Amino acid sequence: MTGALRLRTKFDLPPADRDIVEKLKLDGSVTIGGGRFTNAAVQQKIEELSRRASGKTNDNGPDAARRNVTSDFDRRFTLGNGTLTLSKLTFDVPGAIVDLNGQYSLRSEALAFSGNLFVDAKVSETTTGWKSLALKMVDRLFRKNGSTIIPIKIAGSRDDPSLGIDVRR
């Protein structure tokens, strides 16, 4: 990811005959402003999220190819025993805010996060065709204070993250 970074942390690296990933301890916060993912596939997913969250399901106009969606992150974190734990992670793009908690394993690069996706559009406005018509019946269930709230989970690996609805919540 590229962007403006602000990091504040407590740093502890005790002497030991262990790999640095296992012994390094951090406790702090990080903010990234105007972030863009360097992985083109991930950046494309972020741009799609922004477009749909704004209710623009058919955005094929001349500006669609020049879209420059940036992301802002703000989070608390701890690192210990090779696991990065993020709490109060907020991630926002035009039309959407993601609020998550979870963990990232430095060794396996596995992601395990859950939280809420807040979008400007109604659920039925995030898609087209018969799906949009079917979702009109549940719009009210997800709307609160002028925003659509969808429980989500993010799992998988750093290179191939999977975003889905958390049906258990």
**Which tens digits make up the pLDDT trace of 61-99?**
544 544 578 888 888 999 999 999 999 888 888 999 989
**Which tens digits make up the pLDDT trace of 141-166?**
999 988 999 999 999 998 888 888 88
From CA 69, how far away is CA 54, in angstroms rounded?
A: 12
**CA distance to 58, 82, 83, 104, 156, per residue, from 24 (Å):** 47, 8, 10, 15, 24
Contact 126, 48 (CB under 8 A): no
Q: How do the domains of the chain map onto residue ranges?
A: 2-165
pTM of the model: 0.77
Residue spans of alpha helices (H) in the chain: 20-23, 40-53, 129-135, 139-142
